[in-house]
Structure 1
């Protein structure tokens, strides 16, 4: 009789076997999941470590291939000094003059609001423009007649009338004047020198810190050597720059120091301390003997 309780039909036996199989599969999955998860975590960590090492290797390779000069060729844009009117110049002109882009935007915003620059000195009030930068740009600022004050316009008209009716006085042959003291009025008395050339001579003299020989005039474009006979050097004190104190931007403002030479000076100071003589700079390929010779009168330590 007890067999009646343990008797199963074919369908029931099939269902029973399926249930046992499912239980077995469930237990197998339950036992193997921790191992799979652990293995996946290990593989993930190994992949992360491999990716990190590959990233470091690429960084080191980039550093080895990095060219210092190429970087600064793109970063540093040459300053081109030329006459400009702050009332009409565009942003590209301002940037070429060495004015930073945000300062150029300030100028354009000021003009868009109706602002005008009536005198060169009014340009010095531009927000962000340093006094040294204004001093460098001032000789190149030209204010158009439409933007001048009425009094200045009348003066300009009177000067133009005088220019049209009177012949300017020129020095006779054999006259010599001091190149390190002459102003634009005196320079214009030299045959072959007009107001534009006179301003360029004064501007270059200010950039240098003074002339120490007459032949430096030929460093200004389109000035022939025939003009040298009209000048002499009075040996006025030359304004020197301390190369142990100034930064790259201030050093490159001097015509005899380019950007790469300024970087060498600053990096030498940071690694080896202050410079004591030009002989230390002669060890660098950026400085030739000619560079050091013409630079010597303009630096101090």
Structure 2
């Protein structure tokens, strides 16, 4: 009975022996290859080492990426100043805190003939968030060449009934108060249009008032030739309390940047209220020039 299950024909036995011989030869080849070709084993080890080094470099890049991105963002200084979105260059936009790709969108829009007629039209720039526009809006100035033109005879007729002295210009030798002049009075100065007048008023409000005429040169595209038309009457200057306001409110002042505002707030949190500007002179973020021009605008 058992022979029926375990009995093999001569052909089957021959095939079985050949199969065992082939298996033995294969094992023998794999066992002798490292001895005959040692370089293959070395190359395999080198490949393994290179693979591990590659993985380590990838992990290191992933680890360093967030740090570098944070470092770049932290060191980028945001300088809020009046600007015309129709003429400002990419560097100006980046200094205002606008990301490079958004600046490229603006330049591309202008290259195709696009114009910003009102500050609100700048809010439509692709990529610009509502919060960022809200921060930049007080600094947007539209040049006279880009202001929205009247588009109907009715509007023209309404303007015709206004003051006939609209285009009157002051003669040479006239001086006006830079502290309280409004746009109507500023436009009477030769060379000053509605756009320039609005920029002067906006910068005066951001500062809290002028304490010297030469501060006009801090406004872009205003030359010193304009200074002879103004005097300072020493009107009260609006001061900001360094011990009261947060970072966002402090950076709204043209003389305080983001990093200086952070120093002020961190000093208050760690060492208590500020009592004098001398305490800020200990920080590298404040130069003597920064403190000198800031002095008339702060209180404790």
TM (normalized to structure 1)? 0.54
- How far residue 292 of structure 1 moved from its aligned partner, in angstroms, is 1.2
| Cα pair distance change 1:84/1:158, threshold 3 Å | farther
Partner of 2:280: 281
Question: Within 5 A, what are the aligned runs for 1:1-301?
Answer: 18=18, 21-22=21-22, 53-55=56-58, 71-72=72-73, 81-83=82-84, 128=130, 133-137=136-140, 143-146=147-150, 148=151, 151-157=154-160, 162=164, 168=168, 170=170, 173=173, 177-190=176-189, 193=192, 195-220=194-219, 221-224=222-225, 227=228, 230-240=230-240, 242=242, 245-247=246-248, 251-258=250-257, 262-266=258-262, 269=265, 273=269, 276=274, 277-300=276-299
C-alpha distance in structure 2 between counterparts of 1:206 and 1:139, whole Å: 17
Q: Is the 8 A contact 1:139 1:199 kept in 2?
A: no
Q: Is the 8 A contact 1:214 1:232 kept in 2?
A: yes
| Cα pair distance change 1:271/1:62, threshold 3 Å | farther
| Cα pair distance change 1:296/1:47, threshold 3 Å | same
How well do the aligned residues superpose, as a CA RMSD in angstroms? 5.9
- How far residue 168 of structure 1 moved from its aligned partner, in angstroms, is 1.8
Larger RCO (alpha carbons 8 Å, 6+ apart): 2
C-alpha distance in structure 1 between counterparts of 2:51 and 2:263, whole Å: 38
| Cα pair distance change 1:291/1:74, threshold 3 Å | closer
| Cα pair distance change 1:271/1:168, threshold 3 Å | closer
Total equivalences in the alignment: 257
Structure 2 unmatched ranges of 5 or more: 1-9, 30-45, 106-115
Q: Is the 8 A contact 2:210 2:237 kept in 1?
A: no
CA distances 1:143-180 after superposition (whole Å, capped 9, x unpaired): 4225x565433334556x947xx87263784x654322
CA distances 1:169-206 after superposition (whole Å, capped 9, x unpaired): 63784x65432211122234456655454333212212
CA distances 1:55-87 after superposition (whole Å, capped 9, x unpaired): 4555677899x5988x359977876744568xx
- How far residue 46 of structure 1 moved from its aligned partner, in angstroms, is 8.4
Q: Is the 8 A contact 1:180 1:211 kept in 2?
A: yes
TM (normalized to structure 2)? 0.54
CA distances 1:227-267 after superposition (whole Å, capped 9, x unpaired): 16x422333231527585123xx655533234xxx225426
Partner of 1:32: none
C-alpha distance in structure 2 between counterparts of 1:157 and 1:57, whole Å: 70
